[in-house]
Amino acid sequence: MKIAFFDTKSYDIEVFEPKLKQSKIRYKFYDTRLNEDCVVLAKGCDAVCVFVNDVVNKDVIDQLSEYGVKIIALRCAGFNNVDYKYAAQKGITVVRVPAYSPYAVAEHAMSLLLTSTRKIHKAYIRTRDFNFSLQGLTGFDLHGKTVGVIGTGKIGKVFIDICKGFGMKVLAYDKFPADIPDVEYKTLDEVYRESDILSFHCPLTDDTRHMFNLGTLGKIKPGVVIINTSRGALTDADALLEGIKTKKIGAACLDVYEEESGYFYEDLSDSIIDDDTLSRLISMPNVIVTSHQAFLTKEALQNIAETTIDNVLTIDSGKECPNIVI
């Protein structure tokens, strides 16, 4: 068994390499992302391991099939960047890591919310310059506020528990409601209308793409705080920008961005960003952007490595794997 790892960073190598050596899997790490131009790097491999911004479309899958690749292993939960149905037609099995650490993502969402509402990011910059003025740093209590949680899977449930700890009222929307104490499920429009804070925790599908859009701006409470730590395309970036400009949105906390591929995970500090929407969002004083780092904890990385390798070995041995994308 030989695996080609794409879009790898130092933290990936640190957790994967010891486990790969222990399992006696041959491997090669590439920092480039998988796409039509570099799929040739998978030649001679039995499997490829990819991340959220790798492109695994029909053209890439055709090449992988020609090279004899039998497994596409996602080291993440989302799989919207992989044409998994076409892969199945070509005899390639797609597996993922459905739950690496819901706590990591939920805690990051709350960290963004607290940073935004209490202006911690601004205070940090000020005090580094020995500016101890409190002017412009007034926040608001989370206690007693209504939070709308859109998507109540594992991450959404953990985020709900955290919000309850702050004394917040929780409204929720999910196509498949769960039995969660002290949580009221409502329609999506009702959640939009009644929430002081909206947090998105659902996968990206045809149904959820741009579930927050220009039309949504007429439904939300003025000054609502938007949190997205799931997938960028759940929230239309142009709608977010318009909402912030018109003051319909009070703040936005974004760990993901619709067109993040090519930007996130890279050091572009000496570059000119040609995405005007992203540049304008980052320039807004009430917008916090982190570069898809909500998953990035030691515990989550360990779980990702263990599950990914176990997925590959299980498929290779002909056993049934519970993490196949179908």
Residues taking part in catalysis: 231, 260, 292
Distances (CA, A) of 214 to 176, 218, 236: 25, 8, 8
Rounded to the nearest 5°, which phi and psi values hold at 175?
A: -65, -25
C-alpha–C-alpha distance, residues 91 and 102, integer Å: 31
Residue 150 β-bridge partners: 173, 200
Alpha-helix runs per DSSP H in the chain: 10-23, 58-67, 84-89, 102-117, 120-128, 154-165, 188-194, 237-245, 276-283, 298-316
* Other Cβ atoms within 10 Å of 76 Cβ, number: 19
Whose tokens are 């970036």? That residue is 237
DSSP letter at 292 equals S
